Amino acid sequence: MMDPKIQASIKTAIELFSKSNNLDAKPIYNDLAEVFSSDADFLAKLDLLDAAFDKHQKIEPLREVFFDLLLMNFFSADVIKLEEDYLESPEWEQIEEDTLDRGTELLNVLLYLNECQDEEIEPDLEDFLKEFLLVDEDEFQDEHRIYEDIIAGQILMESSIEEIAKAAKNVDEESELKELFYPIMTFFYDVQPSTDTKKAIEQNAIAKDYDMAVYSILETFNQA
């Protein structure tokens, strides 16, 4: 099964990334859609996902972001077919342990957007950091460390897309959010963007193919 929000996000991301790199999006999307729609268990689907990325090596930069999407699809679509307490089971705990080194921090933003839709509230950066990630709480200092550039950059929400781009270039190369800083911050800058805003986001992108693919995932997922 494939969640419609995930399907739309995959399609948009692949189309944008392919356009920037002069690739044929259709066979790439078809292969990935087949993976996400598969009835296989999660680890088998992960193997299929990796095989698809091995086949389409020019989309390699998106591999770990698509792991996040695979996990989101599992939570929203696949888990319905399993026992009610499956996510508390030793089997799932082992899967989490086996995939600790996979994925990106984009997963947290997607989980937050799901929560916003459930609670019918508009996504907001301060709300994401303080109410969802709890970065101000003593027991969540790992999150504070990981998100310190975004925490420090909250003032950019009152600035401009150009200033977000400047800040993105100064994020430490070792940061887990180095590549995600620009798409995440521009998404939160205006969660109901106009055509002109989206054009400015594209014009100021650091790595246009990756930035716009990731940005489109957030925007599409939020609007779907």
The mean pLDDT of 133-145, rounded to a whole number, is 86
pLDDT given at position 195: 95
Give the pLDDT score at 76: 86
Mean pLDDT of 131-149: 89
Percent with pLDDT over 90 in the chain: 83
pLDDT at 140 exceeding the cut of 90: no
Residue 61 is predicted with a pLDDT of 97
- Determine the pLDDT at residue 139: 80
Distance in angstroms (rounded) separating the CA atoms of residues 224 and 167: 29
Distance separating alpha carbons of residues 33 and 146, to the nearest angstrom: 31
Mean pLDDT calculated for residue range 13-18? 98
Q: Is pLDDT at 35 greater than 90 in this prediction?
A: yes
CA torsion, points 80, 46, 38, 210, in degrees to nearest 10?
Answer: 100
Average pLDDT, the chain: 94
Q: 206: exposed, middle or buried (C-beta count within 10 Å: 0-12, 13-18, 19+)?
A: middle
pLDDT per residue as tens digits for the range 210-221: 999 999 999 999
**pLDDT one-digit tens code per residue, 77-111:** 777 777 778 888 888 899 999 999 999 999 999 99
